[in-house]
Structure 1
Amino acid sequence: MASCICIVHSEQWPLMTFDATESDKVKKINEHIRSQTKVSVNDQILLLGSKILKPQRKLSSYGIDKETTIHLTLKVVKPSDEELPLFLVESSNEGQRHLLHVRRSSSVAQVKEMIEKVTTVTPKTQIVTCNGKRLEDGKIMADYNIRRGSLLFLTMHCIGG
């Protein structure tokens, strides 16, 4: 299988170079960029000339099918910092719900502090999930593609055995 060298240009970061194959999906390039820049895949736009590459498509669908060097341009779309009214569902308190007003730019740590104010459960003992994914400290709400009206679920660490 033929391979190609991807060179990604951006105004904000130094050149990124890595190998790919024609059968790789564009998302593989997006993930590589995310690992280098911490820009979420949803906030990236990759351009091949004037053509926007879609994450679910293979490189070969853009005519990249032989040993070649492809030059891509990375554009970063700043997520809107809209307010997201979310409901927090407590698993330990008969499913009690609390309305939280967070922003797309809110960190998970900030959200956990909000949760502590309404539930008295400390951030250290909180396990917060949304759409089946555990929210990790060091990330922001936009990293999880959380939308207004989403449900956050709160459970607590169980100590003992």
Structure 2
Amino acid sequence: MATCVLVHVHSQSQELMKFTAQKDDRVKKINEQIRSKNKVPVKNQKLLLGSKTLNPEKKLSHYWLDPSTTIHLTLKVVEPSDEELEVFLKEMDRGRKYPFHIRPTSSVSQAKEVIKAITGVLPEAQIVSCNGKKLEDGKIMFDYCIEKGSIFFLSSFCIGG
């Protein structure tokens, strides 16, 4: 039978988070629980046990934790870089591929304006997706885990379905 442990996660900007976990759970399971509670993406989380950074791929048991005690972890939020990234646009109807640059903090509206400059397709006529998700106005590139080399797919609305 797996041993259940109580995990407390402390953070400067968030209230105390409490979770239960099994000693055979991977650290990334706690990362996912934190993401679901406070919307901090897993890749921006750094969990510390004392001064030791926990590896998301390791099991809690790797850190030789006493199951009779509460595990106190510290969450550090690592802000994403805002450097310009080279990404690609692929037009689905013409099969053309274009390189362009975008920042993780750029809005979807800004990205659609860049796409308009490249293709001539008006933003309201664009259907753009990346990493399997349709880009929605009001969001930023960071919300879609855009990274160097990401491919944006452009298609247009069809009249008559």
TM-score (norm 2): 0.82
8 Å contact kept, 2:88–2:100: yes
Once the two structures are TM-superposed, the CA of residue 43 in structure 1 deviates from its matched residue by: 1.0
In the alignment of these two chains, the number of paired residues is 158
8 Å contact kept, 2:125–2:156: no
8 Å contact kept, 2:126–2:154: no
Q: Which residue number in structure 2 is paired with residue 3 of structure 1? A: 4
Once the two structures are TM-superposed, the CA of residue 124 in structure 1 deviates from its matched residue by: 6.7
Q: Which residue number in structure 2 is paired with residue 97 of structure 1? A: 97
Distance, in Å, in 2 between the alignment partners of 1:65 and 1:139 is: 43
Mapping of residues 23-38 of structure 1, within 5 Å: 23-38=24-39
Q: Secondary structure of 1:28's match?
A: helix
Once the two structures are TM-superposed, the CA of residue 64 in structure 1 deviates from its matched residue by: 2.5
Q: Deviations over 1:110-134 (max 9, x none)?
A: 323432443315457514123xx32
8 Å contact kept, 1:47–1:73: yes
Over the residues paired in the alignment, what is the CA RMSD in angstroms? 2.4
Q: Deviations over 1:7-47 (max 9, x none)?
A: 11111111111111111111111111112222111111000
Q: Which residue number in structure 2 is paired with residue 134 of structure 1? A: 133
Q: Does 2:55 correspond to 1:54?
A: yes
Q: Which residue number in structure 2 is paired with residue 148 of structure 1? A: 148
8 Å contact kept, 2:130–2:150: no
Mapping of residues 44-123 of structure 1, within 5 Å: 44-64=45-65, 66-93=67-94, 95-119=95-119, 120-122=121-123
Structure whose CA Rg is larger: 2
Q: Deviations over 1:72-121 (max 9, x none)?
A: 0001111111001211011111x212332210222344323432443315
8 Å contact kept, 1:84–1:103: yes
> What are structure 2's unaligned runs of at least 5 residues?
none
Once the two structures are TM-superposed, the CA of residue 68 in structure 1 deviates from its matched residue by: 2.7
Distance, in Å, in 2 between the alignment partners of 1:56 and 1:160 is: 49
Q: Secondary structure of 1:81's match?
A: coil
> What are structure 1's unaligned runs of at least 5 residues?
none
Distance, in Å, in 2 between the alignment partners of 1:59 and 1:15 is: 20
Q: Secondary structure of 2:70's match?
A: strand
Q: Which residue number in structure 1 is paired with residue 19 of structure 2? A: 18
- Label 1:112 to 1:47 Cα distance change in 2 as closer, same or farther (>3 A): same
